[in-house]
Amino acid sequence: VEFLYCDLASMKSIRQFVRQFRAKNCPLHVLVNNAGVMLVPERKTEDGFEEHFGLNYLGHFLLTNLLLDTLKQSGTHSHNARIITVSSATHYVGKLHLNDLQSRCSYSPHGAYAQSKLALVLFTYRLQHLLTANGSHVTANVVDPGVVNTELYKHVFWVVKVVKWMTAWLFFKTPEEGASTSIYAAVSPEMEGAGGCYVYNEERTKSADIAYDEELQRRLWTESCKMVGISDEASRLP
């Protein structure tokens, strides 16, 4: 196992990581987008993005796009390269504010977190559409790990922390259990060639209705390209 440093809250770090990875001339068969923060106080990344949107979503958007060529070269007809993006059931209550993606008008930790997780689902569906249109041997799926007992909850209200401490053994998944759906999407033969799926508890299920809005998917993709400074070649595709 070899580790390369990458700070998903920094566009500079992401680009540096991709350069280091490409220099190794390694194939890339599986990319799991799993970094995230939850319910943090209002603050910005070094690039000036609201932290939930910048780290949870834009960081993964840029990383995935910069690695797409390598993924396409690594996938074959019988063994597709796979992109797995970790969202959350919170996306079901999320609202995408295209005119205020940075939550400048009104900041809510819960709203910002839910928006970032909805954006990840919209991104995955649009990405799969583009991969299919290009005939690429790459699939993109989004997974819901469930409620997992990790440090992700360190910013919740103290009463919630107490309840979590008392009930985690009963209601929360262990980190190992929480990782199982991502692993399933990454290596299961049942997922070979399957893309554009929302996976929970190792089963394909339905995401929020708004996530299937293709016009919203396109608009978010175009705006995301502008924000991270990459070419929106996909805008010329249907």
Is residue 107 among the annotated active site residues?
no
Q: How far is CA 99 from CA 91, 96, 104, 136, 170, in A?
A: 19, 9, 10, 32, 41
Tokens 């970790």 correspond to 86
**β-strand partners of 64:** none
**Amino acid type, 25:** N
Strand segments, DSSP code E, in the chain are 30-33, 81-86, 138-144, 198-200, 203-205
Contact status, residue 53 vs residue 115, Cβ threshold 8 Å: yes
Residues 39 and 97: their CA atoms lie apart, in Å, by: 18
Residues 193 and 183: their CA atoms lie apart, in Å, by: 16
Contact status, residue 84 vs residue 143, Cβ threshold 8 Å: yes
**β-strand partners of 204:** 199
**Amino acid type, 153:** Y
Q: Beta-carbon neighbour count of residue 180 at 10 Å?
A: 16
Among residues 5, 57, 92, 113, which one is catalytic? 113
| Burial class, 49, CB count within 10 angstroms (exposed 0-12 / middle 13-18 / buried 19+) | buried
Identify the three-state secondary structure at position 204: strand
Write out the catalytic residue numbers: 113
